[in-house]
Chains A and B, each alone.
Chain A
Amino acid sequence: MTHPGISVLLVDDHAVVREGYRRLLESEADLHICGEAADATQAYQRFCALSPNVVVMDVSLPGASGVEVTRRMLARSSAARILMFSVHDEVIFVRHALNAGALGYVTKASAPEMLVEAVRAVARGTRYLSADVIQGLATSDALREATSGRSLSAREFEVLRLLMQGYTLPIIAEKLGLSEKTVANHQSVIRNKFGANNGVQLARMADRLGMQFSTGAVGFT
């Protein structure tokens, strides 16, 4: 069966990255990019204005994350079909994205044709996960058990995600548009939920649970 043209909204904060994906997806006759967005606010506005068939969404965006904007899009339109496309392959990221209602999750380490395949599957309303994500989920029974009891709220998860990336409280507050005191409160609740006495202990526990903290990667090692 042939599909009618699938319109795609691309959300990624790097213009060069969007350009690459645009070229890749538009080389397929049945796909076309109807718009692009560089942050969560823009993504939501363009989603409302363009009603794309599929949103290809980066998890890490300036301001609110891709997971948060996914939740907002689905609150507006429960038929929204969102494919997360991320460098993060950690199970906790995948789980939060899927819990937020994303239909697919593909890591940026995947082969380019996998993104094309994923866009088509998600457009049909079919769940699509890249092989590394499936493997991560399959081997994470213990992890699932460990994290489910902690029941982090969406906001607490955002704060933890940024803490794990090495951001300080004032910068997290600025990024999330919250006061430093509010972020400090979230931090304290997260530590309680993990039973951690301090930041380092929390980082070690989160790391053991598969939410690896940032490697501060540079491109030559």
Chain B
Amino acid sequence: MKDTSKGLSESDSESARPTLRALFRLQFEPAQDAFVLLYPEGMVKLNQSASEIIKRCDGTRGVKQLVAEVESTFNRVGLAHPINAFLAEATARGWVEWIA
């Protein structure tokens, strides 16, 4: 199997665990009827899949486990690629950091 963390410069090892950066907070926003990510500069609305991923970025799971859990939530397989793409984007935007 391919290493699912490929493409994430900060998660080259399979054991790297994504975690939300200290100043970010995930919360449900009734006005938006969606989860939002709050941070000092503002707020970003997340769709359902993005929020399921971010919920699991707590530094306790590696990418493989995170992918397995999200696949189970959506009852789908083959989600490693879009999940990795999202994690790469979340890392680039400064939402997520990686614990070795």
Residues of chain A at the chain B interface (Cβ within 8 Å): 163-171, 187, 199-200, 202-204, 207, 212-221
Contacts and interface: CB of A to CB of B under 8 A. Distances in A.
A169 B41 CA distance: 7
Which of B41, B47, B76 has the most CB atoms of chain A within a 10 A radius of its CB? B41
B46 A219 contact: no
| Majority secondary structure of chain B interface residues (helix, strand, loop or mixed) | mixed
B98 interface: no
B41 A217 contact: no
Contacts of B95: 166
B45 interface: yes
B41 A187 contact: yes
A163 B49 contact: no
B37 interface: yes
Interface string B58-91: 0000000000000000101001001101100110
Shortest beta-carbon contacts, A-B, top 8: A166-B44, A216-B50, A199-B42, A203-B43, A221-B49, A203-B42, A218-B49, A168-B94
7 contacts: A165-B44, A168-B41, A168-B93, A199-B42, A213-B42, A216-B89, A220-B49
A111 B89 CA distance: 27
B9 interface: no
Contacts of B50: 215-218
Nearest to B74: A220
B28 interface: no
B46 A216 contact: yes
B90 A216 contact: yes
B50 to A, nearest CB: 4
Contacts of B48: 221
